Amino acid sequence: MPGGLVAPAGTDEAGQWSLLRPQLLYLIRWPDPAGVPETLGWGNTARVCALLSRRQSAGFLVGQLLGMEPALCQQILLLLWRQGCLQAIAPGVLGEAAAVAPAASDPTPTTPAGSFIVRLWRRLAGLGQH
């Protein structure tokens, strides 16, 4: 598994989730839309990616932050993990990867204000306010 986490051979999805669930996650690259199953939906996957591209979050909190069904969010995170789109940091562990990921409390965008990602993030952030 990426990020230094190793799942025992033959580990099922629940076993993989138990390893990934407590980790601080952040997006290192966006997935190929063609690799996202229709059952998960590209819109849901994009919401998870947008959140994790902006701030680190524990795996189990991502669904809560987005107001998403936990089982769906779990499937999306596992898909992103298997595709190598996520980096994980054990909670409380500071390392090189922690310095690379933007801090959760950092209010300044890491991209220009008019960029596609910033505009997308603003639209997605406004979805839960209706």
- pLDDT exceeds cutoff 60 at 22: yes
Q: What is the mean pLDDT of residues 6-14?
A: 57
Pick the more confident residue, 23 or 79. Answer: 79
Mean pLDDT rounded to a whole number for the chain: 74
Query: Is residue 18, in this structure, part of any structural domain at all?
Result: yes
Q: Which domain holds residue 79?
A: 13-89
Q: What is the pLDDT of residue 68?
A: 92
Pick the more confident residue, 29 or 98. Answer: 29
Structure token pair of residue 78:
């596992």
Q: What is the pLDDT of residue 100?
A: 43
Query: Is residue 54, in this structure, part of any structural domain at all?
Result: yes
Query: Is residue 75, in this structure, part of any structural domain at all?
Result: yes
Query: Is residue 81, in this structure, part of any structural domain at all?
Result: yes
Structure token pair of residue 76:
């999306």
Query: Is residue 121, in this structure, part of any structural domain at all?
Result: no
Query: Is residue 98, in this structure, part of any structural domain at all?
Result: no
Query: Is residue 95, in this structure, part of any structural domain at all?
Result: no
pLDDT, one tens digit per residue, over 38-68 is 888 888 999 999 999 998 888 889 989 999 9
Out of 16-25, 35-44, 65-74, 96-105, least confident range: 96-105
| Number of structural domains found in the chain | 1
Query: Is residue 55, in this structure, part of any structural domain at all?
Result: yes
Confidence of residue 28 (pLDDT cuts 50, 70, 90): very high
